[in-house]
Amino acid sequence: MRRSRAWRWVTWLGLGAVMTLVVAALAACGGDDDESEAPATPGEASGSLRVVSNWTGAEGDAFAAVLDGFQEANPGVEIESEEIPFDQTQAQLAQQFAAGDPPDVSVALPGIVRQLAEQDQLMDLDDLWDEWIDDGSYTQALRDVAQAGVEGPTSSIYFKGNVNALIWYRTDELEALGGEVPETWDEFIDLLDRAAEEGIRPVAVGGADEWPLTQWTDSIILRVAGADAFNQLARGEIGWDDPRIVDSFEVFADLISNYFPPDALSASFVDETCSWADGKAAFTNQGAFVNLVAPAECDKSLQPGRDFTFFEMPKYDESAPDARFVSGDLFIGAKESENAEAAKALLAYLGSAEAQEIWAKRGGYIAPNAKVPPGAYPDVNDRKAAELWPKSDEVEAGYDLDDWIGGRVQSEYRGALQQFVREPDVDAFIAKMTEVDTRSSEG
């Protein structure tokens, strides 16, 4: 099914700049085709490839199955798969590229894609994207994300999508708390209060891993400040001291003070997911991947839809437009790969519906390729999450804030969030981030 330019994804583009990007992308595609390594014909790729990812456990098994599919079609390729912890991936990639020893193919986020593309370290993937846009596999909006805000060739592919700001609950727990899915912010807060009154931890957090805290902040900024302010902050057009951003952190401070558990920073994502799955917390605010992680890592008897499901975090202002918090994983190829033909063949495969359907069937995954059929998703939770993936220009969206910014600001932001959870002082947090992130004042 061909999809139009799906949705208003303005993480780094203002609406007026969208056409500028399209023109720039088309101009880049009009260059010398010889500069872009052609992927090998399926079955003809050979040699060895070093591939870096950051998935472990059930997600690691799912990605291994995807790679197995490539090797079955290309038996002449030997893949050395390397897993780097999520919070270390971008820094280690920067170090490996700087040392002249990059992996052939690697998972990446927009921040590191931008850095390496500006250094001319990445493969030109325009020919793949031109074909995907033409046949309706992807929208221009997704290409914009893969472009990572850099003029010139598109140098990453979109492999794994995700919808966030999903409040996961066990169906028996919600029934015990009244049985109603909240439709407004006030109803959501009332539900957290009821959990606390019943002696149940309202939320599981997992802040020892740092990144789960951004699940809360991004969700809240989008709901309090709105998509425009969120995306302006992401691309450095406004500072952290913008009143809309300050208001967002005031709301977050209230949630921390009233509902976060004492061990919010001492337990990991998996530990807290299992704590929630085991009934020790009423809710957890996470992405669609929980649908895979909870049964695989916590309790194999859990059945998605029957035993647990989710609702979207309600809007803070009922009159505000819907705004989806989305994220996802990109893949890049090293320009100086010694096996560039096979590397590009793998990238073409990872962007294909064939590869993405393998993981989609395992659950906890949203395929960004529009050719993956709805029937690939194994249960009601995954199908419901996939339906939330923005497809209309009437739906506003924001891509994961710190993953988009990347670099030192991302690292400082995560550290500042941990301090904010310890002591939710909004003025101190805003002052810290204004000092760290000077893009708005420099622009």
Domains, the chain, in order of start with CATH, read: 8-161+327-398 (3.40.190.10), 166-324+401-442 (3.40.190.10)
Report the chain's C-alpha Rg in angstroms. Answer: 21
Task: Find the length of the chain.
Answer: 443
CB 372 within 8 A of CB 357: yes
Strand ranges inside 66-156, DSSP E = 76-83, 105-108
Look up the pTM and report it: 0.83
CB 279 within 8 A of CB 173: yes
The segments of the chain whose pLDDT lies below 50 read: 1-35
Taking the C-alpha atoms of residue 281 and residue 174, their distance in angstroms, rounded to an integer, is: 11
The structure tokens 């590191």 sit at 112
Q: Output the pLDDT for position 394.
A: 61
Taking the C-alpha atoms of residue 117 and residue 148, their distance in angstroms, rounded to an integer, is: 9
Residue 169: both structure tokens together: 């609950």
Q: What is the pLDDT of residues 328-337, one digit of tens each?
A: 999 999 999 9
CA pseudo-torsion sign 119, 123, 124, 125: negative
Q: Output the pLDDT for position 430.
A: 99
Element (H, E) at 284: strand 281-286
Q: What angle do CA 146, 149, 150 make, to 5 degrees?
A: 95
In the chain, the amino acid numbered 42 is P
Residue 86: both structure tokens together: 């999520």
In the chain, the amino acid numbered 75 is P
Taking the C-alpha atoms of residue 128 and residue 135, their distance in angstroms, rounded to an integer, is: 11
In the chain, the amino acid numbered 166 is L
In the chain, the amino acid numbered 9 is W
> DSSP for 3-64?
--S--EE-SS--GGGHHHHHHHHHHHHTS-GGGSPPPPPTTT-EEEEEEEE---HHHHHHHH
Q: Output the pLDDT for position 41.
A: 66
Number of alpha carbons in the 13 Å side-chain half-sphere of residue 416? 23
Q: What is the pLDDT of residues 280-320, one digit of tens each?
A: 999 999 999 999 999 999 999 999 999 999 999 999 998 88
Taking the C-alpha atoms of residue 280 and residue 198, their distance in angstroms, rounded to an integer, is: 12
Q: Output the pLDDT for position 56.
A: 92
Number of alpha carbons in the 13 Å side-chain half-sphere of residue 280? 11
Taking the C-alpha atoms of residue 135 and residue 1, their distance in angstroms, rounded to an integer, is: 9
Element (H, E) at 142: helix 140-147
Q: What angle do CA 197, 198, 201 make, to 5 degrees?
A: 85
Closest CA to 417 of 109, 241, 209: 209
Q: What angle do CA 134, 135, 140 make, to 5 degrees?
A: 50
In the sheet that holds 281-286, the strands lie side by side as 201-204, 281-286, 166-170, 308-312
